[in-house]
Structure 1
């Protein structure tokens, strides 16, 4: 078991932490949360950091913890001068300091001083091609110092931005959020359904996690079905896309291993129901029917849906909120079919 430090993104207050735990649990690794700070999570685990980095979206780096010190510059330098750093003779290094928000009294010159403290111990510095990258993260009165083991390919998500996909419509989830909510289902392999697939953004992210995940999309609009197929074909995922009313899906009972969907908001999206209430009730009834018992789904909606979800038979495990602008707040509910 190692103590891994997850340097979380500041895109959301709660989703990054939940995503880390979900990805560890998805592979069945053991873990214990040791410390949780603003944008930093320290976990004792037997998880493989390389595998986690290829799956995570809302994390920047995964480090091996070396020490935690008060955020006083002198105390940090003392730890760097005397502590066990795990460097071998002749290994080169570089130090990068990151300050979360406005925590700590760390100046711009501190990175250089911290590097000098290690250099004085006889280890060479390499700014361009170091053998070891150390990161010092200052947050909530502490400095967390670690050796970088893996880096999340966040630019890769930017390359899959909605405007860069073959088929695009505005107002969809961004790829990093799509990947995070897929991860919250803890799917590792099997069938993942999006009953309101739209442009297929969540399906793309699910399919890129593993070739063992077969994604299935449904939509009542023919143009969405064609657009989703185009996007999934472009990213070479294993998929099926069905043109059908998601209130009456041609999918067997208890056959889906995970679900993620961003519910239509109704302004420009047709819904095949007499009212919004009937639409949500019918959709959730179908989602409950096709999901395997014990498996998880994530529902994204404009309004909180906990009451509707529990009335449909689901158990709500956790919820998150994301304010997009003054007229739109996204609500994320992680649910299971007990």
Structure 2
């Protein structure tokens, strides 16, 4: 077991930590939370950092923990001068300091001072091509110092932005949030369904996690079905996309390993029901029918849906909220079928 530090994105307060835990559980690894801070999480775990970095969306980098010190500059430097840095003789290094929000009293020159403290121990500095990168994260009264093991491909998510996909419509989830939503289901293989697949952005992210994940989309609009197929084909995923009413899906009972969906809001999107409440009730009934017992789904909605979800038979495990603008707050519910 190793102590790993996850340097988290500031895009959301709660989703990044939940995503890390979900990915570790998806692979069956063990973990114990050793520290939880603003934009940083310390776990003792047997997880593979490289595998996690290829999957996670709301994490910047994964570090091997070296030490945790009080955030006062003098205390950090004292630890850097004496801690076991796990550097071999002759290995070069670079150190980067990240200050979360306004925590800590470090100055703009502190990164250089910290590097100098390590250099005085006889290790050469290389700013361009170091053998080892150290990161110091200053947050909530502590400095978390570690050796970088892996970093996520943030650029890859940017390259899959909605406007860069073959088929695009506004108002969809961004790729990093879509990937996080998929990860919260804890799927590692099998069939994942989006019953309101829209442009297919969430299914794209699911399919890119592993060739062992087969994505399935449904939509009542033919143009959405064609567009989703176009996007999934472009990214080389294993997919099926069905043109059908998601309130009456031609899918067997208890056959789907995971589900994700961003519910239509009933404004610019047509719904096949007498009212939005009847639509939600019918949709959740179908989702409950096709999900395997013990498996998870993530529902994204404009308004909280906990009562509707429990009325449909689901158990709500956790919820998150994300304010987009004054007229839209996204609600995320992680649910399971007992």
Shorter chain as denominator, the TM-score bin is over 0.9
Which residue does 2:223 correspond to in 1?
223
Which residue does 1:243 correspond to in 2?
243
State the secondary structure of the residue aligned to 2:84.
coil
How far apart, in 1, do the equivalents of 2:51 and 2:83 lie? 29
Which residue does 1:139 correspond to in 2?
139
State the secondary structure of the residue aligned to 2:332.
strand
The alpha carbon displacement at 1:30 in A equals 0.5
How far apart, in 1, do the equivalents of 2:33 and 2:83 lie? 23
How far apart, in 2, do the equivalents of 1:202 and 1:83 lie? 44
1:306 aligns with 2:295: no
1:214 aligns with 2:214: yes
Which residue does 2:167 correspond to in 1?
167
Which residue does 2:62 correspond to in 1?
62
How far apart, in 1, do the equivalents of 2:318 and 2:81 lie? 43
Which residue does 2:38 correspond to in 1?
38
1:100 aligns with 2:100: yes
The alpha carbon displacement at 1:234 in A equals 0.2
TM-score norm. by structure 2 comes to: 1.00
The alpha carbon displacement at 1:83 in A equals 1.0
How far apart, in 1, do the equivalents of 2:256 and 2:21 lie? 22
Which residue does 1:264 correspond to in 2?
264
The alpha carbon displacement at 1:62 in A equals 0.2
- Cα deviations by residue, 1:122-166 (Å, 9 ceiling, x for unpaired): 000000000000000000000000000000011110000000000
State the secondary structure of the residue aligned to 1:242.
strand
Which residue does 2:49 correspond to in 1?
49
How far apart, in 2, do the equivalents of 1:283 and 1:82 lie? 60
Which residue does 1:27 correspond to in 2?
27
How far apart, in 1, do the equivalents of 2:122 and 2:326 lie? 55
How far apart, in 2, do the equivalents of 1:33 and 1:95 lie? 25
State the secondary structure of the residue aligned to 1:320.
strand
- Cα deviations by residue, 1:241-291 (Å, 9 ceiling, x for unpaired): 000000000000000000000000111100000111110000000000000
Residues paired across the two proteins, number: 338
Which residue does 1:203 correspond to in 2?
203
Structure 2, unpaired ranges of 5+ = none
* C-alpha RMSD over aligned residues: 0.3
Which residue does 1:324 correspond to in 2?
324
How far apart, in 2, do the equivalents of 1:25 and 1:83 lie? 32
How far apart, in 2, do the equivalents of 1:234 and 1:116 lie? 48
How far apart, in 2, do the equivalents of 1:81 and 1:36 lie? 25
The alpha carbon displacement at 1:82 in A equals 1.0
State the secondary structure of the residue aligned to 1:298.
strand
- Cα deviations by residue, 1:81-122 (Å, 9 ceiling, x for unpaired): 111100000000000000000000010100000000000000
TM-score norm. by structure 1 comes to: 1.00
State the secondary structure of the residue aligned to 2:258.
strand
Which residue does 1:78 correspond to in 2?
78
How far apart, in 2, do the equivalents of 1:228 and 1:327 lie? 27
How far apart, in 2, do the equivalents of 1:226 and 1:239 lie? 13
How far apart, in 2, do the equivalents of 1:87 and 1:200 lie? 45
Which residue does 1:13 correspond to in 2?
13
